[in-house]
Amino acid sequence: MVKVKDFIQRFEQFAPRYLAENGDPIGMQLGSTEQTIHRALVTLDVRPEVVKEAIAKKIDFIFAHHPAVFRPAKNLVTDDPQNAMYAELLRHHIAVYAAHTNLDSANGGMNDWLAEQLQLQNVQILQPNYRRQIMKLATYVPQANAATMRQALAAAGAGQLGDYTAASFSYAGTGRFTPGTGAQPFIGQIDQAEAVAETKVEVVFPEDLTNKVLAAMFSVHPYEEPAYDLFHLDNKTGEQFGIGRVGEPQQQMTIREFAEFTRAAFDLHGLRLVTQKPDELVQRVAILGGDGGKFYPAVLQQHANVFVTGDVYYHTAHDMLAAGLSAIDPGHHVESIVKAKAVPLFEQWAQAADWHDVTFMASTLSTDPFTFIN
């Protein structure tokens, strides 16, 4: 039986909570993390019509990109449509989890999906903002227990270096200790000095796996009081994360042509183009899902001449033009790509973890509040 907390644990390995912008209300929104998941719905927004869809499809878990509870409720009076929606979710035992800016910054997440949709090449992070710290653990075990220790640490995620897994280093030595009164030594006698042929096992791992790796070490360590060293590494080899992506177009196009290409790529009825040079060739494109206008200085630093982002404000558009930057505003709703991309990703995780009794599906509704008219 898969519980909400099991899904969250797996998802936050992919898009850790610490990647979220300050104040972003990500994470568990409604319901219980102990609830069992049978049918899960992926949506961009949690709106009343989506809740009706979830109820009709007997959904018990909603994964949303935009938080359902974005601002704290001032009361729980159900005359308010938002509160009434929360009540419907709770009444039908539908748990809700949201991944917003942490999914935006995750490698292989929202902004990579958007860049892929625009067929950008040589894609890089637009504005790096976090490098995952690398930890190193060294522990000492009897030589006969070294293989078991290495296997347990690898199973906890330690020892992954690029495309390599279960990487470790071991060397032999002699451990010395004297068990005192009250000790229950695995090897040796009380008040007698002992020398043991030991193996030092060293592994590296991302800092967010620290508790899991230490738990794995303690679970198989034969000693009553395991000796181990744990420290941060200063070498800049940790995985880097950040907001937005930047890359080159697959084929030569003018800015106007690329705007048309963007409209078609996201199947839009219309978009806004901010440019003084529609016939200039596109050299380098930055893309940032959602409301990303404030990041245009980072776009300039990355030497992009086109910025694709939603909700561009009037005065920000003028600032972009003054800086010689063109912008394409396809709207906020292009992030609905989460439905097409997250479902197969979650199905892949389910297969790997033997979640045979969970079905993931995408919402069939559009939650775009805007309609274009001719």
pLDDT tens string 109-157:
999 999 999 999 999 999 998 888 899 999 999 999 999 999 999 999 9
Mean pLDDT over residues 41-59, rounded?
A: 98
Going by pLDDT thresholds of 50, 70 and 90, the confidence category of residue 321 is: very high
Mean pLDDT over residues 18-38, rounded?
A: 96
- Rounded to an integer, what distance in angstroms lies between the CA atom of residue 68 and that of residue 84? 12
Please report the pLDDT score of residue 167 as a whole number.
Answer: 96
Mean pLDDT over residues 361-373, rounded?
A: 95
Please report the pLDDT score of residue 120 as a whole number.
Answer: 98
Provide the annotated binding site for a divalent metal cation. Answer: 65-66, 104, 332, 335
Number of domains in the chain: 3
In this structure, what CATH number is given to the domain that contains residue 187?
Answer: 3.30.70.120
Residue 125 belongs to a domain: yes
Q: Are residues 247 and 188 in the same domain?
A: no
- Rounded to an integer, what distance in angstroms lies between the CA atom of residue 140 and that of residue 199? 6
Mean pLDDT over residues 165-172, rounded?
A: 95
Residue 305 in contact with residue 280, Cβ under 8 Å? yes
In this structure, what CATH number is given to the domain that contains residue 43?
Answer: 3.40.1390.30
Structural domain boundaries, residue 203: 133-232
Provide the annotated binding site. Answer: 65-66, 104, 332, 335
Mean pLDDT over residues 227-256, rounded?
A: 92
**DSSP string for residues in 117-184:** HTT-EEEEEEEEEEEPPEEEEEEEEEGGGHHHHHHHHHHTTTT-BTTB-S--EEEEEEEEE---TT--
Q: Are residues 180 and 118 in the same domain?
A: no
Q: Are residues 347 and 318 in the same domain?
A: no
Residue 369 belongs to a domain: no
Distance of CA 65 to the CA centre of its chain: 11
Q: Are residues 68 and 125 in the same domain?
A: no
Q: Are residues 256 and 320 in the same domain?
A: yes
Going by pLDDT thresholds of 50, 70 and 90, the confidence category of residue 198 is: very high
- Distances in whole angstroms, Cα of residue 71 to Cα of each of 68, 117, 336, 366: 9, 31, 21, 22
